[in-house]
Structure 1
Amino acid sequence: MKGPSGQKRSRVPPLVWLLIPAAALLFCGANAHLIYVAFASQPECVSHLKAPDPGTGRFRAASSDC
């Protein structure tokens, strides 16, 4: 289809104009949720191994805050 000046006009389906903002809102909502969870779930003190136990292959905290 050509416009009034004789140039080709790109025809983007209306569904695309709905999907782009929906994807942007989903992206922003997911990031907001991650930030909320990061601030809301800070444990006071989690039990962990106090001394290294090389035989079991378990990890321990680098430094204890408790």
Structure 2
Amino acid sequence: MTMKRSRLAIYTSIVAAVLLLVLANAHLVYVAITSQPDCVTHLKGSGEATGNFRAARSSC
């Protein structure tokens, strides 16, 4: 009987770990899809400041 219980505990732990991983990834996908970052100021032209990055295309 102890062998069956230990196998059941192992399988239950594996299923719980996989379920936790799937739920965590589903939450990350949900947050990535539903969130919209705020607009930030960025360099508009190429000659404003050297060495700084700018947006390829502004969505604001």
Matched positions, count: 54
Query: Is residue 38 of structure 2 the alignment partner of residue 35 of structure 1?
Result: no
Q: In angstroms, what is the RMSD of aligned CA positions?
A: 2.2
Flag the structure with more relative contact order, 1 or 2, with Cα contacts below 8 A and sequence separation at least 6.
2
TM-score (norm 2): 0.63
Q: Which runs of 5+ in 2 are unaligned?
A: none
Q: Percent identity?
A: 52
Is structure 2 residue 48 aligned with structure 1 residue 51?
Answer: no
Which has the larger Rg? 1
Q: Residues of 1 paired with 2:40 and 2:20: CA distance? A: 33
Q: Which structure 1 residue ranges, 5 or more long, are not aligned?
A: 1-10
Give the alignment's TM-score, normalised by structure 1: 0.59
Partner residue, 1:16:
10
